[in-house]
A = this chain, B = another copy of it.
Amino acid sequence: MKVVVLAGGLGGSRLARALAETLDPGELTIVGNIGDDIEILGLHVSPDLDTILYTLTGRLDETKGWGRAGESWNALETVAELGGESWFRLGDLDLGVHLVRTEALGRGEPLSAVTTRIARAFGLEPALLPATDERLRTWLATPAGELPFQEWFVARGHRDEVDGVRFEGAEAARPAPGVLEALEAADLVAIAPSNPFVSIGPILAVAAIREALERRSVPAVAVSPLIGGEAVRGPAARMLARMAGGTSPAHVAARYEGLIDALVIDEADAGLAAGVRTIVTRTMMDDGEGRRRVAEAVLESAAALR
């Protein structure tokens, strides 16, 4: 069964890992968010692609939920000593990826191609594709003004309330090679329990990807990022409350109106209407059993919905 999963960072990487542990490698294509990519210290950093890559190849620092296990911070220590930008935490092991990626992009290699090369070298078996090879950047409208994603998220610790999200470059962005083909060939499209606004939003902002989902002939199912109305991590619940009017399954489902046939929700949210079919399970994926449970719920939904 061929599955495409749209994925952001931590929640995205967890569902991607859950599916990778259940499906054959050739059956899974992960389409990653690049709206939070950043150019810093002259490097092109793709935090969500890297979190997925590190998670699925056993390299993630599971305690932090980002970055590499066994990381050191010597380069950044020097940068800080020299008065350079050190607020965006780039570890030494991690830097190696950014150096190789940046050099490749500088030579004109598309992001999707260098991502594939890096993924293969790290032993990742499913396909990992950026939503687009073109520049697409997430901006947040906040009471403090419009902020680029990482300034809002990392530098200011996502303390600013968000009134709106804008995806710079989305209108012109074409899906990366392989994305539409994978959606075309898929038996199921899954949307990971990532932040609907800033993790899945940028992927769906690529018009051709949204259109492919709208006209799909196969089931699509999203996993809610909420457990009992709270996000496992990050500002998703606060953003839903402020921008969508609430933190129920229905508020999540509304973000994907016309794009999904079912929503996997946590037992803690069972009984709440979602406006689409719901599948209830325990959605926490912090261990193998949790991942298996969610992967099964997602994959079984395909049969039920077809």
Q: Chain A interface (Cβ within 8 Å of chain B)?
A: 41-43, 71-72, 74-79, 81-84, 91-97, 99-100, 102-103, 106, 117-118, 121-122
Contact = CB atoms under 8 A, between A and B. Distances in A.
Contacts of A106: 42
A77 B99 contact: no
Contact of A100 (B74, B79, B94, B97): B79
Contact of A74 (B78, B96, B122): B96
Contacts of A81: 96, 121-122
B103 A74 contact: no
Contact of A75 (B84, B95, B122): B95
Contacts of A71: 74
A102 B42 contact: yes
A121 B82 contact: yes
Going nearest first, the 5 A-B pairs with the smallest beta carbon separation are A78-B96, A74-B92, A92-B92, A75-B95, A42-B103
A81 to B, nearest CB: 6
A97 B82 contact: yes
Contact of A82 (B41, B82, B118): B118
Contacts of A77: 93, 96
Copies in the complex: 2
A96 B117 contact: no
A121 B75 contact: no
Contacts of A121: 81-83
Contact of A117 (B41, B76, B83, B102): B83
A79 B43 CA distance: 14
A97 B100 CA distance: 18
B96 A76 contact: yes
12 contacts: A41-B100, A42-B99, A42-B102, A42-B103, A42-B106, A71-B74, A75-B92, A78-B96, A81-B121, A81-B122, A83-B117, A84-B103
A93 B118 contact: no
B72 A96 contact: no
A185 to B, nearest CB: 28
A84 B100 contact: yes
Contacts of A82: 96-97, 100, 117-118, 121-122
Nearest to A118: B82
Given A74-B72, A106-B42, A79 B99 contact: yes
A129 to B, nearest CB: 18
Contact of A99 (B41, B83, B97): B41
Contacts of A91: 74
A92 B72 contact: yes
